[in-house]
C-alpha cells in the first residue's frame, strides 16, 4: 500500500516537473519567436536609382519596401524576423546578399535609438503629493487666491468653451495673475492673420485627425505612419486612445486647434493646416528618425518635435549622420528652397540636473529650440538651461518643485485623443508647438521668409519676460540680451509679424572652420584649462549666427566638467554645465556644443575654450585629457547697417553683464512696445502695396489731360526731389573728377 502511494507520488512529481518544463519551453519559444523589426537603408547605383527597382529587389528578397528616404538618398527596407539564432543567421545572410547585388551601391543597417517625449510628472501630481503631508492649509488659501474671474473682459470673443482660460494667448488678468503676460498674439488675429495656408507637421506618437479641432485642416498628403508600414493608407492615427498616445494630438491642438466650434480652446494658428508623422509609438531606428525628419519637407512649412534622448541627466547624444543629413536637406530643400522650420522642445530634465547642451537635437544649428516660462515669467523647475535655446513661451509650471509659491490652476489647453480636451498640457512639450503656431502666423505675413529669416526675427523681437528672475542676462558684443534660461527672451508674436511684413531676406549662410593645433591638453582636477583659437580670417562672414564647438575629451566622471566658450567680444556661453547624475567615464568624441549667444558678433579675434572641474576635491585615480577642439562658425556677410536691425536696441561693442537698473530699463522699453496699438498692419497689406504701385505706374504712363493743377504741382515737386537726389549722389564723383583735374594741371613742372 505504501509502495503504491509512493509510486503515485513519484509519478505525480514527475508529471508536474514535465508540465513545468513544457510551460517553460513554450514560454521561451514564445519569447524567442517574438517579431523584431530591422530597418535597412539601401542606396542603389546611379543607373538603378528608381522606386520600381527598389520594390523589385524587396520582392525578390521577401522584405518590405517602405519607400524612399529623402535627403539621404536611400530606399527603406524593413526586415521582420523572429527572436532566435536561426533568424539572426538568416538576416545576416540577407544583408550579405543585398551587399553583393550589383544593383545596390551600399546597405546601411538602422541602429536602435532610445527616444522619449518631453513629458514629465505634472505639477498637479507633485503638488498634491506635497500638499498631503505639508501644505493642506496653505494650499487651501492659495486655491482661493488663483481663481477664474468670470467678469473679465476680452479683446476677442471666440465661442470655444475654454478660450477665456487660455491665459498664455490673451492674459487679461482672468486668474488674478499679471496682465499681458502672454505671447501677444491677439493683435495679429485682429489684423486678420490665423495661419491660413501654412502647414505644421507634428512628428510624434500619432495624430487623432478626426478630432473636431483638427479635422477641417488635416493634410493627409503631408502625413505618414512609420510605425505600421503594413497600413496601405499610412494613416498616423494613434494606436490607442489613452495617455500613452495622446502627446502628438495635444501638440497639434496647441498649434492649430480650430476656433469658434464650441470645442476646447483655440490654437495659435487656428486656421493653419495640420499633419502628423507617427514614429514614437514603437521601436525607432536611425533610419526611421531620419525619414521622419525629411519626409514631405518640400511642401511642409514647419515641423514640430517635442521629444529627444532621455532627459535623465546621464545621457549625451548628438544626431547621427543620417539625422544630420536629413536636417540639412530640410533647411535647404524644404518649402521649395526657403527651408522648413524645425521647432524643437528644449527639454524637461532640469529637475534631474540635465542640460540641453548635452542634447544635440535641441542644440542643433538648423533647429529653433524653445523652452518654457510660467505665468510670472519665471523658469519652471523642469527647464533645462543652455545657450542654444533661442526663445521661450508661456506654458506654466512652478518655479520650484516644493515651495510655498502660488499654484496656478491651468496649464496649456489642448485637444486630446478621442475628441476630448486637456487643461494640463505643459512643459517644453507644449512650448514647441505653441512656437510653431506663432511662426505659422509670421510665415503667413511674409511667405518669402527663409528659415534663417525667422531665426533673425526672433532674436530682434524677443523680449525680457520678467524682472523676477533677472540674474542670468548678458548683453553680447552686438547688443543683444541673451540668457541660458530664456534665450533671447519670450516670443512676441505681434512684434514678429510687424517685422516680418517688411523684412529683407538675410544674405546666404557661410561656414568657416578653425581648429586648435597645439596637441592634447591635460584636465587637472580643481584646475582651469583654457585653450585659445585665434581667428584671423573667416571669409566672408562678418556676422555670426551659430557657433559649434566640436570637442573630444576623456575624464573619469563626465558630469564633473563644465565647458564654456568665450567669444572675441567677451560673450561667455556655458555650453555644458555640471551634471551630477552623469557618472560615465566614457568621455565624448567630437560632440557638437552649440551656442547662439554670439549672434551678430564679428568672428575675428581670439576664441577661448574653458574647461573647469565641478568638484575641486574629487578623488579620481587619473586626470582627464582634452583631445580635440575645433570651431565651426556659421554666419553671413552683411554691411554695417541693415534695415532689419533696430539700431536703438543694439548698442554694445563689448559683452557685459547689465546692472539691475539696465535690465529694468530694457524690460520697460520692450514691454511698452508690446502694448503699442499702432504697430500692426492688415494681413493683405503687401498685395495692397503692390496694387498701389501698379496703379501709380499706370497713372504715370496715362495722359494727364484731366489731371488737376494740384496734381501737376505734386508731379513737379517729385521731379525736383528726384533731381536733387541725383545731384547729391553725383557730388562725390564730381569732387573726385575735380581733384584729378586739379592735380593734373598743377603738378606739371613749369618750362625752363
670 with 464: CB under 8 angstroms? yes
The active-site residue, picked from 204, 208, 281, 492, is 204
pLDDT in tens, 229-248: 989 999 999 998 888 899 99
Q: Tell me what pLDDT residue 623 has.
A: 84
Q: Tell me what pLDDT residue 701 has.
A: 46
- Asked whether the predicted pLDDT for residue 33 surpasses 50, the reply is no
DSSP string, 460-529: HH-B---SSS-SS-EE-TTS-EEBTTTBT-B--HHHHHHHHHTPPPPPPPEEEEEE--S--EEE-TT-EE
- Asked whether the predicted pLDDT for residue 649 surpasses 60, the reply is no
247 among known catalytic residues: yes
Q: Give the span between the Cα atoms of 454 and 457, in whole angstroms.
A: 5
Cell of 234: 499610412
Q: Give the span between the Cα atoms of 622 and 628, in whole angstroms.
A: 19
Q: Tell me what pLDDT residue 301 has.
A: 98
With CA atoms as reference, report the closest residue to 101 among 71, 70, 77, 72. 77
Q: Which of 87-96, 129-138, 249-258, 631-640 has the highest mean pLDDT?
A: 249-258
- Asked whether the predicted pLDDT for residue 130 surpasses 90, the reply is no
289 with 279: CB under 8 angstroms? yes
Under the banding of pLDDT at 50, 70 and 90, the label for residue 724 is low
Mean pLDDT of the chain: 86
With CA atoms as reference, report the closest residue to 182 among 611, 619, 424, 493. 493
Cell of 728: 547729391
Pinpoint the alpha helices (H) of 601-652.
none
119 among known catalytic residues: no
Percent of the chain with pLDDT over 70: 79
Question: Side-chain half-sphere of 377: how many Cα atoms within 13 Å?
Answer: 21
Q: Tell me what pLDDT residue 261 has.
A: 95
Weakest mean pLDDT among 116-120, 131-135, 239-243: 131-135
The single residue listed with the C-alpha cell 512684434 is 495
DSSP reduced 3-state for 392: strand
pLDDT in tens, 452-485: 999 999 999 999 999 999 999 999 999 999 999 9
- The mean per-residue pLDDT over the stretch 517-534 comes to 95
- Asked whether the predicted pLDDT for residue 306 surpasses 70, the reply is yes
DSSP reduced 3-state for 189: helix
- Asked whether the predicted pLDDT for residue 282 surpasses 80, the reply is yes
- Asked whether the predicted pLDDT for residue 119 surpasses 80, the reply is no
DSSP reduced 3-state for 351: helix
The active-site residue, picked from 68, 76, 209, 247, is 247
Cell of 122: 505634472
The single residue listed with the C-alpha cell 572641474 is 613
Q: Tell me what pLDDT residue 9 has.
A: 59
Answer positive or negative: Cα dihedral of 603, 608, 609, 611. Answer: negative
Cell of 628: 580635440
Stronger pLDDT, 183 or 15, i.e. the higher one:
183
Its pTM stands at: 0.84
> Rg for the chain (alpha carbons), in Å?
31
The active-site residue, picked from 388, 426, 429, 567, is 429
- The mean per-residue pLDDT over the stretch 70-98 comes to 86
pLDDT in tens, 151-182: 889 999 899 999 999 999 999 999 888 899 99
Q: Tell me what pLDDT residue 687 has.
A: 52
Pairing of strands 302-305, 307-308: unpaired
Q: Tell me what pLDDT residue 32 has.
A: 37
- The mean per-residue pLDDT over the stretch 290-304 comes to 97
223 with 277: CB under 8 angstroms? yes
Q: Give the span between the Cα atoms of 457 and 439, in whole angstroms.
A: 10
Percent of the chain with pLDDT over 90: 70
Cell of 327: 536636417
Q: Cβ neighbours of residue 51 under 8 Å, at least 6 residues apart? A: 67, 68, 75
Amino acid at each position: 500500500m505504501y509502495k503504491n502511494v509512493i509510486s503515485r507520488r513519484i509519478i505525480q512529481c514527475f508529471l508536474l516537473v514535465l508540465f513545468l518544463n513544457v510551460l517553460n519551453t513554450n514560454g521561451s519559444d514564445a519569447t524567442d519567436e517574438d517579431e523584431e523589426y530591422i530597418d535597412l537603408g539601401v542606396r542603389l547605383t546611379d543607373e538603378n536609382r528608381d522606386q520600381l527597382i527598389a520594390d523589385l529587389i524587396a520582392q525578390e528578397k521577401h522584405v518590405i519596401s517602405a519607400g524612399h528616404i529623402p535627403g539621404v538618398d536611400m530606399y527603406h527596407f524593413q526586415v521582420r524576423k523572429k527572436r532566435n539564432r536561426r533568424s539572426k543567421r538568416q538576416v545576416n545572410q540577407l544583408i550579405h546578399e543585398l551587399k553583393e547585388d550589383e544593383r545596390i551601391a551600399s546597405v546601411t543597417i538602422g541602429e536602435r535609438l532610445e527616444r522619449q517625449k518631453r513629458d514629465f510628472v505634472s505639477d498637479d501630481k507633485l503638488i498634491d503629493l506635497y500638499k498631503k503631508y505639508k501644505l493642506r492649509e496653505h494650499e487651501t488659501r492659495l486655491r482661493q487666491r488663483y481663481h477664474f474671474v468670470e467678469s473679465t473682459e476680452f479683446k476677442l470673443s471666440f465661442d470655444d468653451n475654454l478660450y477665456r482660460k487660455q491665459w498664455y494667448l490673451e492674459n487679461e488678468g482672468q486668474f488674478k495673475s499679471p496682465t499681458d503676460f502672454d505671447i501677444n498674439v491677439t493683435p495679429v488675429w485682429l489684423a486678420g492673420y490665423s495661419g491660413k495656408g501654412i502647414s505644421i507637421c507634428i512628428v510624434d506618437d500619432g495624430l487623432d485627425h478626426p478630432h473636431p479641432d483638427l479635422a477641417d485642416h488635416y493634410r493627409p498628403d503631408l502625413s505618414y505612419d512609420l510605425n505600421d508600414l503594413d497600413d496601405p493608407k499610412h494613416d498616423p492615427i494613434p494606436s490607442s486612445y489613452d495617455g500613452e498616445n495622446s502627446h502628438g494630438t495635444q501638440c497639434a491642438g496647441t498649434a492649430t486647434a480650430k476656433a469658434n466650434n464650441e470645442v476646447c480652446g483655440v490654437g495659435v494658428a487656428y486656421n493653419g493646416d495640420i499633419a502628423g508623422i507617427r514614429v514614437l509609438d514603437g521601436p525607432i531606428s536611425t533610419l526611421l528618425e531620419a525619414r521622419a525628419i525629411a519626409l514631405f519637407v518640400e511642401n511642409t512649412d514647419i515641423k514640430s518635435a517635442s521629444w529627444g534622448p532621455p532627459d535623465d541627466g546621464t545621457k549625451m547624444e548628438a544626431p547621427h549622420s543620417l539625422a544630420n543629413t536629413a536636417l540639412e536637406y530640410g533647411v535647404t530643400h524644404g518649402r521649395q528652397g526657403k527651408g522648413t522650420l524645425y521647432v524643437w522642445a528644449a527639454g524637461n530634465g532640469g529637475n534631474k540636473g540635465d542640460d540641453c547642451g548635452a542634447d544635440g537635437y535641441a542644440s542643433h544649428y538648423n533647429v529653433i529650440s524653445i523652452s518654457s516660462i510660467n505665468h510670472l515669467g519665471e523658469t519652471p523647475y523642469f527647464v533645462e538651461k543652455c545657450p542654444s535655446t533661442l526663445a521661450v513661451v508661456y506654458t506654466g509650471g512652478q518655479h520650484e518643485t516644493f515651495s510655498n509659491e502660488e499654484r496656478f490652476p491651468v496649464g496649456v489647453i489642448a485637444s486630446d485623443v478621442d475628441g476630448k480636451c486637456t487643461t494640463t498640457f505643459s512643459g517644453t512639450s507644449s512650448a514647441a508647438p505653441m512656437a510653431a503656431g506663432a511662426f505659422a502666423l509670421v510665415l503667413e505675413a511674409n511667405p518669402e521668409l527663409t528659415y534663417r529669416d525667422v531665426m533673425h526675427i526672433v532674436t530682434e523681437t524677443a523680449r525680457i519676460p520678467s524682472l523676477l528672475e533677472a540674474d542670468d542676462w548678458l548683453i553680447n558684443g552686438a547688443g543683444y540680451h541673451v540668457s541660458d534660461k530664456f534665450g533671447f527672451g519670450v516670443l512676441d508674436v505681434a512684434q514678429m509679424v510687424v517685422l516680418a511684413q517688411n523684412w529683407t531676406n538675410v544674405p546666404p549662410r557661410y561656414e568657416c572652420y578653425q581648429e586648435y593645433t597645439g596637441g592634447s591638453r591635460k584636465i587637472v582636477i580643481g584646475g582651469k584649462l583654457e585653450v585659445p583659437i585665434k581667428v584671423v580670417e573667416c571669409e566672408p562672414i562678418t556676422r555670426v549666427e551659430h557657433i559649434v564647438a566640436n570637442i573630444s575629451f576623456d575624464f573619469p566622471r563626465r558630469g564633473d566638467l563644465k565647458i564654456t566658450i568665450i567669444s572675441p567680444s567677451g560673450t561667455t556661453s556655458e555650453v555644458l554645465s555640471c551634471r551630477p547624475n552623469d557618472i560615465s567615464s566614457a568621455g565624448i568624441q567630437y560632440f557638437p556644443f552649440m551656442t547662439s549667444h554670439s549672434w551678430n558678433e564679428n568672428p575675428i579675434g581670439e576664441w577661448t575654450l574653458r574647461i573647469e572641474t565641478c568638484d575641486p576635491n574629487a578623488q579620481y585615480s587619473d586626470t582627464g585629457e582634452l583631445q580635440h577642439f575645433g570651431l565651426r562658425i556659421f554666419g553671413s556677410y552683411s554691411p554695417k547697417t541693415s534695415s532689419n536691425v533696430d539700431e536703438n536696441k543694439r548698442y554694445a561693442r563689448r559683452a557685459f553683464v547689465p546692472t539691475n537698473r539696465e535690465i529694468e530699463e530694457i524690460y520697460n522699453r520692450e514691454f511698452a512696445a508690446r502694448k503699442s496699438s499702432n504697430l500692426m498692419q492688415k494681413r493683405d497689406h503687401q498685395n495692397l502695396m503692390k496694387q498701389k504701385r501698379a496703379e501709380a505706374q499706370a497713372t504715370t504712363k496715362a495722359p494727364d489731360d484731366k489731371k488737376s493743377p494740384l496734381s501737376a504741382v505734386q508731379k513737379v515737386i517729385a521731379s525736383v526731389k528726384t533731381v536733387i537726389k541725383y545731384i547729391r549722389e553725383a557730388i562725390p564723383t564730381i569732387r573726385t573728377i575735380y581733384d584729378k583735374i586739379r592735380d593734373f594741371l598743377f603738378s606739371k613742372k613749369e618750362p625752363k
